Structure 1
Amino acid sequence: MNLAAPLTVDDLLAARDPVPVGLDAALRDRLAEGRDFLGKVLGDDRAVYGATTGFGALVGYAGRADQRDQADNTLAHLGAGQGPDLDPALVRATMLVRARSLAQAASGVSPHVVEALAAMLGTTFAPAVPRYGSVGASGDLIPLGAAAQALRGRGYAYLDGERMPAADALERAGLTPLPLDGRDALALVNGTSLTTAALALALHAARDAHRAAQHLTCLLADLLGCDPQFLDERLIRRFAHPGAIDVADAMRTTLAGVVPSGDRPLQEPYSVRCSPQLLGAAEDALRYVDGVVAADLAGVSDNPLFFPGDDAVVHGGNFFGQPAAFAADLLSSVVAQLGNLAERQLDLLVDPHRNGGLPPMLAAGPGQQHGLQGVQLASTALVAELRRDAMPAGMQSLPTNLHNQDVIPLGTQAALRALDQSALLRLILGSLALGLRQAVHVGARRPTAAGTGALLAALARRIPPIDPDRPLEADVRTAADISLNWGF
């Protein structure tokens, strides 16, 4: 990939493995021009935050005169992160986002910094970054500080999945410790690249789950023999919401050829009947998040920014992660409601009073066997986790940094939480998919639509019936993998 072009979520996914990252000649020239302009500004004795000053609340004090010492001045105090390391794949995506922001040549960064990030991404190297410490206001300072230190050969890093001292990881990867001055160091940390990467990956996972929820809802409706009139195009178009119209259209395609049993109630429970409205609202929300992620991946997240053509250094707040915070909070709400839907659908499926007379818990021999009983209990626990964590983070501001950061977005927490929640939703959908596979074994009718039949066949090929009972945690994960990847 070329850093001169905007990134996509697919680029971030690819960065979990070594990936070639290129800088063309025009990009190198723009970086050099920006760096030369920084030298001119400093030569003119103009104030430049982080290059001539202290940091944060201490901006009113002079920084260190030697720029190499100023890099230490930037990074040393940020070594305050706590908690477990973030997933190295997420950290590598973060470094790609940071490289793209810096490559837009508005940060006054040395060209060799961007080149070093590109070289790192061509290996399996990943800085060890603690989860806790960022408030997403002046960028992800503490997490990115740990990443910058690892690139300098300080702290810890991963190579081929093994955690080791960063200096050893650099040597084994064939990389050299990254020399930094004050401006370079600040440019590496003064942006919301972790927040952006986490939000982008959470969005990708939520979109996979959203698509799977549509397919599984269709399979549920077919196995139960539901009348598909809840998807009628005339009905949905009068609802008028674009997401619902598009979701219902996709679900009608999956259910093409379905034959209702004629034995179901006139109106299904909301977990079936209102599914296009719920999933459609989720689609509309996801489209909003799509836009935020696209803007974050295209933008420059740093302070100050340098404009050589205008002979200007502009100080401001482009490191403030409020857009991502709001988007991540919305994404968490979407994920929680998708979890609610899937859990209620599983409850419908295992209840003999509502599932058309299938055995309770879909047990092959009720009493002697218990079928989905444990899986349903676990799904309930997972939904409780999603609900508990759906409290918005983006408005829970706390003043910090001697009231320099008197309002903060907490976008990092919101984005990391959304990423965690998407993993839980995956398991709830896997639980539903496992139940749908088992339902046919204990007496549900075979699918009558080609699309739902293909999904059931994919599940049945890899998951044997639950007869007799067995531990099902691995089957849930397998069913999730099949459901979230089906149709590609």
Structure 2
Amino acid sequence: MTTTASDTAVDLGSPLTVPQLLRASAPLEVIAGAVVEDRVARGRAYVRSLLADDERPVYGLKTGFGALVGYAGRSSEADQCDNTLAHLGAGKGPDLPLDVARAALLVRAWSLAQGLSGVSSHVVSGLAAMFATTFTPAIPRYGSVGASGDLIPLAYAAQALRGRGHAYLDGVRRPASEALTTAGLSPLELDGRDALALVNGTSVTTAATALALSSVRASHRALSDLTCLLVDVLGADAGFVDARLISAFGHTGAVTVGSWMRSMLSGASPSGSRALQEPYSIRCSPQLLGAAEDALRYVDGVVAADLGGVSDNPLFFPGDDLVAHGGNFFGQPAAYAADVLAMVTASLGNLAERQLDLLVDPARNTGLPPMLAAGPGQQHGLQGVQLATTAFVAEIRRNVLPASTQSLPTNLHNQDVVPFGTQSALRAYDLADLLRLLCGSLALGLRQAVHVGGRRPTAPRCAALLDALAAAIEPVDPDRPLDEDVRVAARVVVDGEW
């Protein structure tokens, strides 16, 4: 089927999805249609009326920010924009990955397009125009506590859209003003409400959590397939995925994963050379992978709610003549979800490492050579890869401490509880990449196992997976650096290129 522009465009008047965030890393058509224009205009008109009413206090329109809310802000609307952004230029560390930065701005654009933030219409249209190019603000990683939104990271994004600071164009970092000009974009002109609305949301947290979720979900499904390939290559009995057995366990995730695995193993026949009961890394894999599926469904729900919710303060409801001051920028849901995602990643990564360890061990791999070396001693097969997987798992474990439990008071105790969702989300994003490499490492080991004497899979789908790996990767014979082979194997199994 031919893909048309309407298939790939993002309409800010429709629900936002994770696949759309994944596409935001490249130029993307973003549409702010008549419905969006109307509700943004109504919200903006209401804000203008509030500015003219000296009797109604509105945070950020006429006040200082954060703990300084009790003081008057600047009288000029343009100056109030600078009042918002200048003091937030305190971020540090490396720039965020470009896919996270662009996904965050797509989340922000969608939230502003709902008309409850009272922004100027050109803010939404300007963001939409940015996505048609490769322009990406340079945003430092460190500085957000995820409590009043991702204030500091989004301030850098807002400044770049104004032509200040730095940005990337075609992946090259340069002054933002130069990047805007080259991309054919005009600097955004912002007043105080526009600036505050751009920074006062959890869009970085939401975007990073969503991207991490997508990656971990793909690795989770890949690990289910690789476990089946391991079973078939070793000639193990697949009775541990029996539908009656898994149903009796009582957990919906295990039932789902058991169904996947039975489909993958359909047609497999045991060799009869394995012990009655396999090690837990095989026998208990439906229960482990099933628990991960249940946890990932929880994260699915949180991400969907975040993508469908407005994150800002205050919110404006013109039809009710209501300015609602509250905490819709408090990223606790995503903080919990991203911490759960990290824990899932640790368990899945451990499973992949343990399965590779079993596969390279002649005491447990039904007599295959140690380290799957084609000529042990003269060659070393998967020895380096197996060492690296140990390091990957250790790195994941070291980073799994929940960030959502680390609240520290800040901002003169205005922000006396904070979720640290940004830390949770970016950490989950990082760990998802290590899990992907662990899946690639196991896949490479299974490809090599058949080369050094493991049996060809008897289940058609397992055989198809092996053939895809064999077509993409030469046997390790003789030894060679395997870093790129691990990445290729990951593309085959995690990205579904088979």
Q: What TM-score do the two structures reach when normalised by structure 1?
A: 0.99
- Per-residue CA deviation, residues 210-247 of structure 1 (Å, 9 max, x unaligned), is 00000000000000101000000000000010000010
Deviation at 1:29, TM superposition (A): 1.2
- Whole-Å separation in 1 of the counterparts to 2:48 and 2:437: 53
Deviation at 1:486, TM superposition (A): 2.5
Deviation at 1:153, TM superposition (A): 0.3
Amino acid at match of 1:299: G
Task: Give every structure 1 segment of 4 or more consecutive aligned residues whose post-TM-superposition deviation is greater than 4 Å.
Answer: none
Deviation at 1:485, TM superposition (A): 2.1
- Whole-Å separation in 2 of the counterparts to 1:189 and 1:462: 45
1:176 paired to 2:196: no
- Note the aligned Cα RMSD (angstroms): 0.7
Partner of 1:406: 416
Partner of 2:394: 384
Structure 1 residues without counterparts, runs of 5 or longer: none
Choose from 293, 298, 311 the match for 1:283.
Answer: 293
Choose from 16, 36, 59 the match for 1:7.
Answer: 16
Partner of 1:362: 372
After the TM superposition, which residues 393-432 of structure 1 pair with which residues of structure 2 at under 5 Å, given as runs? 393-432=403-442
SS of residue in 1 equivalent to 2:384? helix
Asked if the contact 1:57/1:402 (under 8 Å) is kept, the reply is yes
Deviation at 1:41, TM superposition (A): 1.5
Asked if the contact 1:31/1:110 (under 8 Å) is kept, the reply is yes
Percent of matched pairs sharing the same residue? 70
Partner of 1:434: 444
Choose from 196, 205, 228 the match for 1:218.
Answer: 228
Deviation at 1:114, TM superposition (A): 0.5
Partner of 1:479: 489
Partner of 1:120: 130
Partner of 1:242: 252
Deviation at 1:487, TM superposition (A): 6.5
SS of residue in 1 equivalent to 2:312? coil
Choose from 304, 307, 310 the match for 2:317.
Answer: 307
Partner of 1:460: 470
Partner of 2:29: 20
Amino acid at match of 1:243: G
- Whole-Å separation in 2 of the counterparts to 1:346 and 1:444: 14
Worse overlay, 478-487 or 301-310: 478-487
- Whole-Å separation in 1 of the counterparts to 2:449 and 2:282: 17
Choose from 346, 353, 356 the match for 1:336.
Answer: 346
Amino acid at match of 1:78: L
Partner of 2:5: none
SS of residue in 2 equivalent to 1:109? coil
Deviation at 1:258, TM superposition (A): 0.2
Choose from 203, 208, 212 the match for 2:218.
Answer: 208
Partner of 1:141: 151
Q: How many residues end up aligned between the 2 structures?
A: 488
Asked if the contact 2:491/2:497 (under 8 Å) is kept, the reply is no
- Whole-Å separation in 2 of the counterparts to 1:166 and 1:485: 34
Asked if the contact 1:227/1:260 (under 8 Å) is kept, the reply is yes
Asked if the contact 1:455/1:486 (under 8 Å) is kept, the reply is no
- Per-residue CA deviation, residues 104-159 of structure 1 (Å, 9 max, x unaligned), is 00001111100100000111100000000000000000000000000000000011
Amino acid at match of 2:154: L
Worse overlay, 43-52 or 347-356: 43-52
Q: What TM-score do the two structures reach when normalised by structure 2?
A: 0.97
- Whole-Å separation in 2 of the counterparts to 1:78 and 1:246: 46
SS of residue in 2 equivalent to 1:157? strand
SS of residue in 2 equivalent to 1:434? helix
